[in-house]
Structure 1
Amino acid sequence: MEAFFKTHKYLVEHTDAPVRRTLMDEIDWSDRMIGIKGTRGIGKTTFLLQYAKENFDADNHRCLYINMNNFYFQGRGIADFAADFYNRGGRVLLIDQVFKQPDWSRELRLCYDKCPGLKIVFTGSSVMRLKEENPELCGIVKSYNLRGFSFREYLNLMTGNDIPIYTLDDIIKRHEQIAHYLAHKVDIPLHFENYLHHGFYPFFREHRNFEENLLKTMNMTTEVDILLIKQIELKYLTKIKKLFYLLALEGPKAPNISSLANEIETSRATVMNYIKYLSDARLINMIHHVGDEFPKKPSKIMMYNPNLMYAIYPIVANTQDIMETFFVNTIWKNHKVNQGNKDACYIVDENKTYRIVDSQQTTKQRYMPDSIYAEYNSTIGHDNHIPLWMFGLLY
């Protein structure tokens, strides 16, 4: 146990989290079993360590961080280890990559039942369906999703500002005032361009090639998270990877399921399942018309965030596609997004139409007074013409 405390102390003391993630204040920390999901590279480990750093001294043995990558846990279950920690006075156990442990959900249930004063916070892949696929945890686990940096968080990191979160209603009603205020503080066009290219994943701060690191993350997501958690045989990995590449090549559009099935030599039903896995893994977004949902075929598939679009060779990302991908990704944090009746048109919360347009081309289009125009190549808007970048302030 002392070796784990030593590692915990070192990691907490050396944790560098210059931007406090908004999820930290959204979680009800009084719950005893908390699950934090998220795609690879999104900062789940840092998030756990930041929680420990904010709430406990590094030498306080009431809190302990452990990672299931440690080979020690191949010979000892979580429940047995947790009971030992609890009997030594431990009260908060932070478990990273919990899905690496066999029977992890049953083990967590044992912890919950046998250690009534122990809080467990664990991280796992976004592919995991905590409640649907793990009945042992129903009623005891509270699940949260950790997302990549918003444009607001990225701005705060890069400029040292403390820009607050704005609601969608704030942005619609006060966007001119907010934009004028922020435009005097930071270079919006420069930072927005950089954010679209590399700002979503926190590891852009590391001194490594960002695109190579992102490709590694994408491969690990398919090779480990999808195959391991969904218990898919290794021989099908190439089909999943090829499907993802084909979807990326096609850009945001309705998928031709029959054509994709022929391309990867499998059934239509299997293609739909693979698409769902890629969506759960936060590699793609599925967009449906209002009233539709999976397993119905999506009306559009796009990459999960714009950073992914720059990393897949030899795709030359189309500006319009990048901007739509940004809009869908950032809106989806707290709102529902559906496909509208035309391209570049989305319905938010089933009641408001948003059109993603180039501000330099807006005058050439038919004006729709009931729509909101989310405009790129714009820093400050007017009336129902809102600069697209402002939707990045929602979380």
Structure 2
Amino acid sequence: MLHNKNYINMEITDAYINSTRLVNSVSMAHIRYLYDTIDWSSRMVCIKGARGVGKTTMMLQRMKQLFPKSEQAIYVSLDDLWFTEHRLIDLAEYHFLHGGTHLFVDEVHRYPYNNWIQELKNIYDRYPELHIVFTGSSLLQIDFSLADLSRRCVFYTLQGLSFREYLRFEEKGEFAALTLDRILKEHISITTDIVSQTTIIPLFEEYLRHGYYPFYKEAPASYSLRLQQVITTILENDLPAVEKVEYVSIKKMKRLLMIVSQMVPFSPNMTKVGESIETTRQAVSRMFQLLERAALLIMLYSEKNNMQQLTKPEKVYLENTNLMYALAPTSDIGNIRETFFANQLKANHTITFSGQGDFRIDDTYTFEVGGKTKSFEQIKDIPNSYLAIDNVEYGTGKRIPLWLFGFLY
């Protein structure tokens, strides 16, 4: 508990000063796709997502839009040392009693008392006029605890930049997001319009290398190094904070990520993978699940099997192509293409493994992904089948440019 009131007031005043400084420094130039879909009027909002995709920036932008010069809102990060001796619920009480209406809480999974769920519930129940927005870089504990908050909270997931958003960040054009249905039906006219405004292929190649995480602009020359540091932080800090994971397992998970990054679209044999990283089949299966929940992997299961936790995935990809280039700069081009497609589609669609074709989308569409010479031979007799083709500006019929699937959000 907090004991000395004068000391408390001084420290909390510092928190308001820090919050104001961060809000003042955030840019409003680039608003992410998720911003306008969030129901900010809800009393409790959770923004989930991988480390580095821009959750903190989004919260600060919301504060800047609503309260540019007001202490009605305060931003705090629960990895701040202040919270090693003080409770979030005490800060919330002080904030509410001094006219606060909005509390923005970052990095909830780093709260040292391991009871952030209970404290958020208590804050929600005690202060009905207080609005709470919170984030967590690790998907693990938040996902595990959803049931306890579901009655009170609205949950959203923020992905990294889509190719469409990257073009806007690079000031190469303002384009509206597209539905999958529009892409399938109108891709010829849509691509004609987009290509008339920008040189799309070189920009797409750049995006695949360094366009997924918004911080790419901060230090382009060291971007790959920073991505490796993000991976290390997730494995060495976030995972152990929410799961019982031994250090030797963390080292093996790093090796597992390297294996996935270097393989042609990876269909795992759990026993052989276990042998290569010197662990058991069961341990490999758990590692895959943890890495997927940490937003470092995408795992595809057969459309016929809904018991994902009980079966092995049919294919495994790194979560995005930027991670691939950071871990294995000479990654297989087929793997890169499929990783991009899976990453962009999973934001708003159900994506499963297809025995015929590469992907099954929403249990309706079948897609093959490839280069210019890719043919329909493998999926020619399947209804609602399409090709996603790399290195082309325009499509024809059911041959659709791969880059256009980067406009889905």
Shared fold, TM over 0.5: yes
**Counterpart contact for 1:105–1:134, Cα < 8 Å:** no
RMSD of aligned residue pairs (Cα, Å): 1.8
**Counterpart contact for 1:354–1:373, Cα < 8 Å:** yes
**1:227 is aligned with what amino acid?**
P
**1:306 is aligned with what amino acid?**
T
Distance in 2 separating the partners of 1:365 and 1:81: 60
1:375 paired residue number: 389
Q: Deviation at 1:17?
A: 4.5
Cα shift readout 1:241-267 (whole Å, capped 9, x = no counterpart): 222222223342211101122233332
User: How do residues 231-242 of structure 1 correspond to structure 2 at under 5 angstroms?
Assistant: 231-242=244-255
Tell me the matched-pair count: 392
Once the two structures are aligned, what percentage of the paired residues are identical? 32
Distance in 1 separating the partners of 2:181 and 2:203: 24
2:310 paired residue number: 295
Residue 155 of structure 2: SS of its match in structure 1? strand
**Counterpart contact for 1:345–1:353, Cα < 8 Å:** yes
Q: Structure 2: 5+ residue runs without aligned partners?
A: 1-11
User: How do residues 207-226 of structure 1 correspond to structure 2 at under 5 angstroms?
Assistant: 207=219, 208-226=221-239
2:34 paired residue number: 23
User: How do residues 163-178 of structure 1 correspond to structure 2 at under 5 angstroms?
Assistant: 163-178=175-190
Of 173, 176, 188, the match for 1:161: 173
**2:404 is aligned with what amino acid?**
M
Residue 139 of structure 2: SS of its match in structure 1? coil
Is 2:361 aligned against 1:348? yes
Residue 254 of structure 1: SS of its match in structure 2? coil
Q: Deviation at 1:159?
A: 2.3
1:47 paired residue number: 58
Distance in 1 separating the partners of 2:98 and 2:258: 50
Q: Deviation at 1:140?
A: 1.1
**1:311 is aligned with what amino acid?**
A
**1:20 is aligned with what amino acid?**
I
Distance in 1 separating the partners of 2:242 and 2:255: 19
User: How do residues 295-374 of structure 1 correspond to structure 2 at under 5 angstroms?
Assistant: 295-313=310-328, 316-342=330-356, 345-362=358-375, 367=380, 370=383, 371-374=385-388
Of 113, 119, 131, the match for 2:131: 119
The 10-residue stretch of structure 1 (207-216 or 170-179) with the greater mean CA deviation from structure 2: 207-216
User: How do residues 25-104 of structure 1 correspond to structure 2 at under 5 angstroms?
Assistant: 25-57=36-68, 59-101=69-111, 102=113, 103-104=115-116
Residue 184 of structure 2: SS of its match in structure 1? helix
The 10-residue stretch of structure 1 (226-235 or 380-389) with the greater mean CA deviation from structure 2: 226-235
**Counterpart contact for 1:131–1:138, Cα < 8 Å:** no
Distance in 1 separating the partners of 2:295 and 2:264: 16
Q: Deviation at 1:116?
A: 1.1
Q: In structure 2, do the counterparts of structure 1 residues 131 and 39 end up closer, same or farther at CA, with 3 Å as the change threshold?
A: closer
Q: Deviation at 1:141?
A: 1.8
Structure 2 length-normalised TM: 0.91
**1:168 is aligned with what amino acid?**
L
Residue 285 of structure 1: SS of its match in structure 2? strand
Q: Structure 1: 5+ residue runs without aligned partners?
A: none
Q: Deviation at 1:317?
A: 1.1
**1:91 is aligned with what amino acid?**
T
Q: Deviation at 1:358?
A: 1.1
Q: Deviation at 1:295?
A: 2.8
The 10-residue stretch of structure 1 (241-250 or 186-195) with the greater mean CA deviation from structure 2: 241-250
Distance in 1 separating the partners of 2:137 and 2:153: 15
Residue 93 of structure 2: SS of its match in structure 1? helix
Residue 140 of structure 2: SS of its match in structure 1? coil
Cα shift readout 1:80-128 (whole Å, capped 9, x = no counterpart): 1111111111111001101111211111111111111111101102423
**Counterpart contact for 2:261–2:318, Cα < 8 Å:** yes
2:140 paired residue number: 128
Cα shift readout 1:117-174 (whole Å, capped 9, x = no counterpart): 1111011024234364355323112211111000000011112522101100111111
Structure 1 length-normalised TM: 0.94
Q: Deviation at 1:363?
A: 8.0
Distance in 2 separating the partners of 1:365 and 1:260: 29
Residue 154 of structure 1: SS of its match in structure 2? helix
**Counterpart contact for 2:263–2:332, Cα < 8 Å:** no
**1:96 is aligned with what amino acid?**
D
2:155 paired residue number: 143
**Counterpart contact for 2:302–2:353, Cα < 8 Å:** yes
Q: In structure 2, do the counterparts of structure 1 residues 336 and 130 end up closer, same or farther at CA, with 3 Å as the change threshold?
A: same
Q: In structure 2, do the counterparts of structure 1 residues 301 and 377 end up closer, same or farther at CA, with 3 Å as the change threshold?
A: same
